[in-house]
Every structure is written in C-alpha cells, then in structure tokens.
Structure 1
Amino acid sequence: MTTSLSAGAPARTGQPARRADRIGRGLDGLAASHARAAAALLALCLLLFLPGQISLQPMDRDEPRFAQASKQMLESGDLVDIRFQGEARHKKPVGIYWAQAAAVAAGEALGVPEARTQIALYRLPSLIGAAASVLLAYWAGLAFLPRRGALLAAALYGACLMLSAEAHLAKTDALLAACATASLGALARAWLGRGQRLGLPVLAAFWLGLALGILVKGPMVPLFVALPAAFLSWKAGSARWLGALRPLPGLALVLLIVAPWFAAIAWKSGGAFYAEAVGHDMLGKIGGAAERHGAPPGAYALAVFATFWPGAVFAAMSLPFAWRERRGDAVAFVIAAVLPAWLIFEAVPTKLPHYVLPLLPWLAVLTVLALNAGALDPRRRGARAAALLLPAIPLALTLGLCAFGWRIDGHRIPFAALPLLGGACILAALGWRAFARGMPERALVLGILASCLLGPGVLGVAQRQLPGLKVSPRLAALRDRLPCPNPQVASLGYREPSLVFLIGTDLALLPDGAAAKAFLDAGGCRLLFIEARQREDFNAAWPVSRAAPAPLADIEGFNLNTGRRVFVTAYAVAP
C-alpha cells in the first residue's frame, strides 16, 4: 500500500484532497491533547444520547421492569430485595437498581415533578454508562494507537446504533459496557506492557470494573476478562504477566465490594435468588431460547452490520488484516477480547443484539489499526459493494419509519424528522463515495457525522410523531379525564410492564372478565382497561338486564415487543 493510503489520506489530488485534508486537520486539532479529545467525545455522546431521553416512552418489556423494581425500592425502603409488584425479581444483581434509585432520589431532592414516574431519571445511569464507555474506549485505545487513532476508534464506537439505543434504555447493558471496557483496557495494558509495573489508575480500572460489573450483571465482566486472559496466557506459554494486576489485593477489593449484598440477598431470599438467577435465568438461556429470543448461530454476525453501523462494514474489511497480523501482540489481544466471547454468544440459543455490545469497542480499535496499516482498500474485490451498507442502513431506517407511520399509525409521516434522516442518508452516501475514491478515513468520519443526525432523528424526533407506539402513556393519560382524583386502576389482557410503571405499583392485573366486572362493581372511582382479545369475556360477565358501562375511550397502537397491533378499551366509573 502507498503511504498516503495507509495514513487515510486521499489517493487523488484537487478539491477532494483539500476536503479530506480539512477532515484530517480537524482530527489533528481534536487530538491535540487528551483533554480536547475527551471533550470532543463527551460532546459527541451528548449529541447522540440526549435527544429522546424524556420523550421516548418506557420501552417494553425489560426497561419498565427494571424501572418499576427500582421505584419499589424507593417505595419500600428495602435496598436488598428486588421486586416487580408482588413478584420477586431474582434475575440480575442489585447494581442497576441502586443506580436508578439513586438517580430518582436525586431528582426528587432537586424538585423534579412526579420524579418516580419520569422514565428519563431511571435512564440516567445508562446515559452516564454509555458516555463513560466511550471515554474508556478512548483510554483503552491509547494502549494500541496514537491519540488521533484512539479518538477515531472511540468515536466510531460511540456512534454505533446499539450504544445509542442502550443509552436510551433503563437497563444494565450500557453500564455493563463501561465496566467491561475499563477492565479490558487495563488487561490490555498488562499484556502489551509485560514486565512493566502498572500504575494505580490501571489497577483501579481493572478491579473496580470487575466488581461493579458483577453487581450490575453477575458473571459477564469476569467472563469477558477471563476468556482473553486464558487465550493470551496460552499464547505466551505462561500466565505470569497477569501478576502485574496484583491479583490478591484486587480480589480482596472485589469481595469487599460485592460480598455484602450477595450475602444479604442469600439470607433474605433463602437462596431463591441464586436458584432463579443461575438455575433459571442464566442456564435457561444457555439451554434454550429464553422468552422467544432464539436465533441460529451466525445471527450476531449478520445483526452487527446494523447494530455496529457505521463501523461494521469497515470492521468486516479489517478481518483479513487481523488474520495476517494475528501473531502481533496488539492484534492478538483484540482477537482474544472478541472472538472467544463472540463464539460463545453465537452458540448459545438465546440471542439478543445487545449481548455483544461490550465487544464493539475492540472491533473499533481493530478497524483503526487496519486503517493505519492501509488495509481498508477500496480496490479489494467487493469492497466498494460492501461499503454500500454505509448509506443503506439510514436509507432503510428512513423508509421503514415512513412506511410504519403510513400503514400502522393512521397515515402519519414523521415529517419533522425527515431533514435529519435525509441529511444522514446524504452524509452516509458521501462517506461511501469517499471510500470508493480511496479515502477510508474520510469515510469513517462521514459515517460518524451521519450517525449524529440519524440517532437524534429517530429517537429524538421521529418517535414523538408516532403516537401509535405510545400505547401505555396514552392509557395512563386517561386518568386525567376522570372527574375524581386518584382512581383505582386495573387491566385485563394488556399487561405490559410500562403500564405498571406509569400507573403505579398497585395496578391490578385481572385474570378474567368476571374479575373485571367485580372491579367496576366495587364502587368508588375506578378505571379499567380491556384488551380486545378479552372484550368478549368481559361483556359475557354482565347479565342481560345490565350491560357493561359505555366505554370511556378506545386506544389503538402497535406493540413493538410482540410485533402486532393492540386495541384497548377503557371503562370508568365514578361516585
């Protein structure tokens, strides 16, 4: 390869070269110091992750389950047991619930109105975790790349669609990614600097990432660390290099942090937490497709082209480079960090796209390593055609949102989002053209800029114009139409956790039409929701001489979790 191509500079002269030089000078300016690079990445995160935090409805089903359990911690004052209404939620450790409860308590202290039903407060740990994972990806990248390359790798990871989605969801995965990136970044320094003493910040990143990761999602961060540690120890013929991480005091610190809660929940639940979390949740996902989330091996390899957009297609082009350089320490670490865990996830029947999120920073590092080596070459067979995925993803999202609004949501088109979505398509197309002309670095930067329009366009603007997605918020808003305060609320058929979160812990989820009739007959101020499939049973519960009350409202929408339309009728009685 030529030197200019290896450095990501344009292969042609003239105006395209001058434009590419401006991008190169811009990267040089942003990478002039660590403080400037960190500030640029933080600005990128705020631009990508803030839009939609307040307006995006609670996304069924996992997000409102986590948020509701955190809310109940505040209501009960019990910071050990985890519950969703009256049901024990023994699936994940307590870390995310503590973080969410703390965020909501801070919101209440600052005077946020109705803080406990403001989903944006519960999303704060995910927002912070996502931004922290990007900054940590930059820190980790510095072990492999100069400052400019680490900045580009971290930005490429920060711009990916999966991280932006997780930053908007009150779940574990954004925090998990931050913990895993911290520990793996420290492990990389131990590997690349074998024989050298590690500083306290590196040791703290490794062991605190491990401890907090255990509190957030149990064995996942230890798994992400143990697999590359074992692989690299086999490659080196010895595990002595791990001694630089100070295992004995480090493990003591981890136990000091995690043991109190694990002991408390074992005592309080009588061992039920471990039976559910390990025996049912974890082993259930390994043994079969839990909660209908099954897919064949290879599903992640296909899904990553959307979830890791805009970097995925360039990461795929980097694989031949990774194979050629597999004996080098830097590429060997990246392979060890990604490949074993990826193969395990492909083999496990239960598959969800976010499972591989902690591996994506390392794909970004590999991509920039390949870029610097001149391996992202448009002259390779099929490279230009593969790079068409860069504009294809935003174009598909734009057309899909318009088609959804037209067909499912009453002939609505999210017109306000079209300038952002169209701009993302144009920038992505320019990125493809830059790659085809031999300017891969320019293509990466244009892809990142396209993501800066696409994410806010979808999550910040388009979803606000599609009320069909907001079934639970529209149902909860019906309480304000009643002439009496604080009505008792029940639901038959429609049992989404988002409704429990928005209505309150005391929402009654009824078993049949007879129970629904009894609920309305109990007197007082009452609001009842009947899903369409249960309406016949509800009507049959009323005697011929006394029909059901007239409906208050009919709500029609689309349930993203089940992939089907939903029709809910509301009934109300007042004193």
Structure 2
Amino acid sequence: MAETEYTPRFGAPREPKPRVDPGNTLARVLDFVTLSHGRAVAFLAVVSFLFFLSGFFTIPPIDRDEARFAQATKQMVESGDFVDIRFQDEVRYKKPVGIYWMQAAVVEVADRLGVPNAEIRIWLYRVPSLLGAIGAVLLTYWTALAFVTRRGAVLAGLIMCSSVLLNVEARMAKTDAMLLLTVMAVMGAMARVYLAWQRGEENKQGGWLEPFVFWTGMAVSILIKGPLILMFVGFTILVLGIMDRSVGWLGRLKPLAGIPWTLLLVLPWFVAIYLKAGQSFFQDSIGGDMLSKLQAQESHGAPPGTYFLLFWVTFWPGAPLAGMAAPAIWRARREPGAQFLLAWLVPSWIVFEAVMTKLPHYVLPLYPAIAILIVGAMERRVLARGWLSRGSAWWFAIPVLAAVGALVGSVAVVRHPMFLAWPFAAGALVFGLFAWMMYDNNRAERSLLSGVVAAFFMSIAFYAVFLPSLKPVFPSVHLARALRTVVCVAPKAAAAGYHEPSLVFMAGTGAQLLDGAGAADFLAQGSCRFALVEYRSERQFAQRAEALGLRYNMFTRVEGYNYSQGKAVSIAIYRSEGTE
C-alpha cells in the first residue's frame, strides 16, 4: 500500500499558528493614524488625554510644591490682586506669575459656571498642567516632523506622553508641564529655521510663523519659569555656532521684531511687581531661588550622575531604546538633525548634573530631544545589537518592580492589597513581557508600542487606584473634612506640629500655623475655634492650656503619615469649652 500523507479527519491540514504579538495590531493602528496629519494630531491628543486623566480628579493636593502653588493662586482669587504672589502673609517670589494667572483663570471660569467650592478643588488648579502636557506632546510631534517621518513623529509623541516623568507633571498644579510646552514651541521653531538653513532653502518671504512661535514661546516661558529658557536656547546656539562656524540662520528668526515683541509681553508684569515690591522679587527669584540651587537647596542635594540614573525610570518606556540608540546617535553626531538635538540636550544636561540641587523634573525639557533621537535611530534600523539589546528586559522589569512596590506599600499603609489595581497591573506586566520577548532590531517599533500600552495600564493602576486609596498619607483632607462638619458660624483653625501647605489650602487661608503653646492661646480667644495639635506638640499645648485655665475637649483625632517629613502623625482636633 502506497504511503500517503496523513490528513486530519475533519477539515484541511492546519497551518502553524503565528507567534502571538500584540505589536502587529498596534502597528496597524499606527498605519491608520499616520495617513494624515489630522489623524495623527487627533490620535496623540486623545491618547495623551487618556494617559493623563487617570487620578486627575481624585488625587488629593500633593505637598509641598503643588499645594503651595494652588494656595498662592487661591489667595489671588480671594484678594483680587493678580500682581503680588503670596502664601498666607509670606511673599512667594521664587517664580514669576504666569502659572498663577493660568490657574486663577480656570478657577474663576469654573466658579462662574457654577462649580461648587471651586476654590478648593485641586483638579481645577491642575488644568493648566494637563493642557500643557497635552500641548507638549503635540508640539513634540510638530518638532519631530522636521527630523523624521510622520510615523516617527507620532512615535516621538507617544514616547513623551507615556513617559513616567511627564505623567507625574501632568497631574501636578505647578509650572513644569506648561514650561515643557513653551520649550517645545521655542525649540521646535528654532529647529525648523536651522534645518531649512542647513538644507540651503531660501528664506520664505513673509515667513513669520516660526519667528512668532519662537518669540511668543520665549515670553510665556519667562513669565512661567523666569530666564531658564535662555539656557536651553543659548547653549544650543553656542554649540551650533562652534560646530558650523556660523550663526547666520539666526536672522531668519527676525530678532529685530521678535525681541521687542517678547519684551512687550513680559515687561508689564515685571514693572508692576517692581512697583509693588521693589527689589524683593528679583532678589528672591534670582538670588534666593536660582543661585541658591548651585548649593544643596531644601535638602535636595545629590551628586553628578543622579539624573542619568533617574532617567532609566523617569523616561520609561522610552528608556530601553535610548541605550540601544546611543552608538548610532554618536556616529551621526555631525549630521544637522542630530547635531541640533545634541546641542539642545548635552550642554544643559551637563549643567543640571553639575548643579548641586537636583529634582527629577528639572531635566524634563530635554526629554523630547532624546525621544526624537531615538526615533531617528529606529527609522534607520541602526539600534545596537549585542549586550545593549539586553536592555529590552527593562520593559518588563519596571512593571514588575512597580507592582511589587505598590503591593508592599498598600499592605503597609492601608492593610489590604488593593485588588482593584491587580487587573491593570497584570495588563502592564503582560504588555511589558511582550515588549521584551518580541524585541529585535527590526521589530523595535512594535516593542515600543507594547511598552506604551504597558505604561497606560500602569498609569491607571497607580494614579486611578493606588494613590487615591492611600488615604492615611493625606491627613489634610481628613482634617479639612472634619472642620466642615462642625456646627458653628465661620470656624477658625490653628495647627501645631503639622504645617503642610495642603492644610492651608484645604482648611482656608486663615488657618494659622503655630506651636503648641500658640495653639492654646488661639483656642482661648473665642468660640468656634479649633486647634489641630500633632501629638509631638500636645504636651506643650496642654501645659499652656492649664496655665490659661482653658477647658477644651477633643473633637476627633486623625491618624496618618506625613510623607514630606517621612514620619507618622497623630493629630487631635480640640475645641474650647471656655476658661475657668
């Protein structure tokens, strides 16, 4: 009997199953959205909004910077004084007024639209940061179009909107997300002018778009963060001038018209604050804030190399590709595109590493340059092989470390493992594993897209579930809620031992920050007064109350953890019963 090929009894022979790779589906999505600029922009806007929205409304005020910014804005709205910047009675002249105006505009609009208690809703103060982060992603796309294809520009935008650091700043009511938007406007306009000059393109007649974006972005950046933008621009021009032995392209930015325009936008407020406060603002902002960062300011000192180490976490999921792209970027360093991006990146990074005061967000304005450099190497398929490619494991390692850290933290703080976060953490682990296992030089794009999806699941797990559930680490919320339940007219509060800015924001501008004895004196001055006394100040409070003959009772007690100081707190709320 002749040998025949075996055929299954039911149906035709089955073909081998293709390897499961979610990156194929994600790549097809990218194919669709890059068919036009409109689709690409809409896609990045929607994805950014989805990334940054998790926890945006539910995370309480974060101490200390966010609460300080929000409280200073709240006092502007309460007082109607939009020139001076104060936290209670203390001037707050470390930063110019730009971000306070933006936050105040949102709160005022919300109040007129009937949003109840708009002045104490922290998410309203975060809206400028949300818009700044989304705008920065879109401007990363716009900037990248001068260097790479439309598909590559979308990938650069995805790297930025999924990065850990920008996700943090998008949810914080302070300057850095909006600063990034202005930096991208300025550097994007400058890049387009420089590359057109390098290509020998004639200057377009009446080409005012890039100069207008450049000088307007410069003005807004100065009003938000002071002269920091001048460092990025100045170093870039200096390095390019040395490399090219020419800065002839600067004329295309129309400085004769642009400089007066910038001054017209920034000088009115600087003149107003000078007339109101004299030299105080300039002494505090330049001498007290900027120059003091040369030393270890507010216990934030760290050695050189700190930002390099933090980069592998704060730039995830783009970070694994940065290491693989580094050799190719170095080889291409004299090409005009890479030369511009490295001039933007390297000198300012060296300065940040050299300065003693270090906070993770300082280097955020340099991350888009890295994202575009990475995409350029991906498009040429020149990512390093060999030992550097083992960095792809980092796509999986970060979700694992985050999941373990969150599990330990939730059990330690709230005594349960937050089961609601587990499905999202599992999604991050699965897509992180796919990104790692499917990586090779020809599939880097698909691994990156899987990493972006892993970052999305991580953002939901952390910002929407984990962080809002850590109620003990936000004692100010519970203290303010307790004060709102009292039955008396216009309650007044004073705190002893717990002086976090979030308490002032939540409990009211009139909340006094005193010591234990001062809290007892405050309580003795009338009815409908409450002393919030942390247990380390209770002895001093009790001794002074006894000396005053003050009778009081404990309204309630709030147990929690002060993460700003790294210690547990127990805060009693006392109410006066009069004096003997």
- Shared fold, TM over 0.5: yes
CA distance in 1, matches of 2:422, 2:89: 44
Aligned to 1:404: 409
- Does the 8 Å contact 1:526/1:574 carry over to 2? no
Aligned to 2:351: 344
Aligned to 1:106: 109
Out of 87, 94, 98, the residue aligned to residue 95 of structure 1 is 98
The alpha-carbon deviation at position 22 of structure 1 amounts to 3.5
Out of 428, 444, 467, the residue aligned to residue 440 of structure 1 is 444
Pairing of 1:128-143 with structure 2 (within 5 A): 128-143=131-146
Compute the TM-score of the two structures, normalised by the length of structure 1. 0.94
CA distance in 2, matches of 1:71, 1:573: 29
Aligned to 2:510: 506
**Could you list the runs of 5+ residues in structure 2 that have no partner in the other structure?**
1-15
2:30 maps to a residue whose letter is L
Task: Evaluate the alpha carbon distance shift between residue 563 and residue 521 of structure 1 in structure 2; reply closer, same or farther with a 3 A threshold.
Answer: same
* SS of residue matched to 1:59: coil
Task: Identify which range, 299-308 or 543-552, moves more after superposition.
Answer: 543-552
The alpha-carbon deviation at position 485 of structure 1 amounts to 3.6
Pairing of 1:152-301 with structure 2 (within 5 A): 152-194=155-197, 195=200, 196-197=202-203, 199-286=207-294, 288-301=295-308
- Does the 8 Å contact 2:381/2:441 carry over to 1? no
* SS of residue matched to 1:66: helix
2:512 maps to a residue whose letter is A
The alpha-carbon deviation at position 546 of structure 1 amounts to 5.8
* SS of residue matched to 2:553: coil
2:75 maps to 1:72: yes
Q: How many residues align?
A: 558
Task: Evaluate the alpha carbon distance shift between residue 17 and residue 389 of structure 1 in structure 2; reply closer, same or farther with a 3 A threshold.
Answer: closer
1:396 maps to a residue whose letter is L
The alpha-carbon deviation at position 100 of structure 1 amounts to 0.5
Aligned to 2:375: 368
2:494 maps to 1:482: no
CA distance in 2, matches of 1:337, 1:316: 18
The alpha-carbon deviation at position 76 of structure 1 amounts to 1.2
The alpha-carbon deviation at position 520 of structure 1 amounts to 1.6
Compute the TM-score of the two structures, normalised by the length of structure 2. 0.93
CA distance in 2, matches of 1:309, 1:147: 22
The alpha-carbon deviation at position 263 of structure 1 amounts to 1.1
2:133 maps to a residue whose letter is A
- Does the 8 Å contact 2:21/2:434 carry over to 1? no
- Does the 8 Å contact 2:553/2:577 carry over to 1? no
Task: Identify which range, 482-491 or 96-105, moves more after superposition.
Answer: 482-491
- Does the 8 Å contact 2:44/2:138 carry over to 1? yes
- Does the 8 Å contact 2:524/2:550 carry over to 1? no
2:90 maps to 1:83: no
CA deviation digits over 1:428-448, x for unaligned, max 9? 111111115852111100111
- Does the 8 Å contact 1:47/1:456 carry over to 2? no
2:39 maps to 1:32: no
- Does the 8 Å contact 1:431/1:442 carry over to 2? yes
1:551 maps to a residue whose letter is M
* SS of residue matched to 1:522: coil
* SS of residue matched to 1:187: helix
2:342 maps to 1:335: yes
1:468 maps to a residue whose letter is P
* SS of residue matched to 2:182: helix
1:225 maps to a residue whose letter is V
CA deviation digits over 1:509-544, x for unaligned, max 9? 11x322211222222111211112212211222338
CA distance in 1, matches of 2:22, 2:521: 72
The alpha-carbon deviation at position 47 of structure 1 amounts to 0.6
Task: Evaluate the alpha carbon distance shift between residue 19 and residue 404 of structure 1 in structure 2; reply closer, same or farther with a 3 A threshold.
Answer: closer
- Does the 8 Å contact 1:489/1:507 carry over to 2? yes
- Does the 8 Å contact 1:414/1:466 carry over to 2? no
- Does the 8 Å contact 1:157/1:361 carry over to 2? yes
Please report the RMSD computed on the Cα atoms of aligned residues, expressed in angstroms. 1.8
CA distance in 1, matches of 2:362, 2:184: 14
Aligned to 2:47: 44
CA distance in 1, matches of 2:191, 2:413: 48
Aligned to 1:521: 524
CA distance in 2, matches of 1:545, 1:251: 63
Aligned to 2:9: none
2:395 maps to 1:390: yes
CA distance in 1, matches of 2:469, 2:425: 14
The alpha-carbon deviation at position 566 of structure 1 amounts to 2.1
- Does the 8 Å contact 1:412/1:466 carry over to 2? no
The alpha-carbon deviation at position 548 of structure 1 amounts to 6.0
CA distance in 2, matches of 1:306, 1:376: 20
CA distance in 2, matches of 1:104, 1:162: 26
2:383 maps to 1:380: no
CA distance in 1, matches of 2:22, 2:522: 69
CA distance in 2, matches of 1:573, 1:319: 66
Aligned to 2:125: 122
Aligned to 2:10: none
CA distance in 1, matches of 2:79, 2:550: 40
Aligned to 1:10: none
The alpha-carbon deviation at position 109 of structure 1 amounts to 1.0
2:399 maps to a residue whose letter is P
CA deviation digits over 1:456-502, x for unaligned, max 9? 22111212222112211011011133222421111011000000011
CA deviation digits over 1:84-110, x for unaligned, max 9? 100111100000010000010010011
CA distance in 1, matches of 2:125, 2:263: 27
1:38 maps to a residue whose letter is V
CA distance in 1, matches of 2:490, 2:325: 59
Task: Evaluate the alpha carbon distance shift between residue 375 and residue 488 of structure 1 in structure 2; reply closer, same or farther with a 3 A threshold.
Answer: same
- Does the 8 Å contact 2:164/2:315 carry over to 1? yes
* SS of residue matched to 2:387: coil
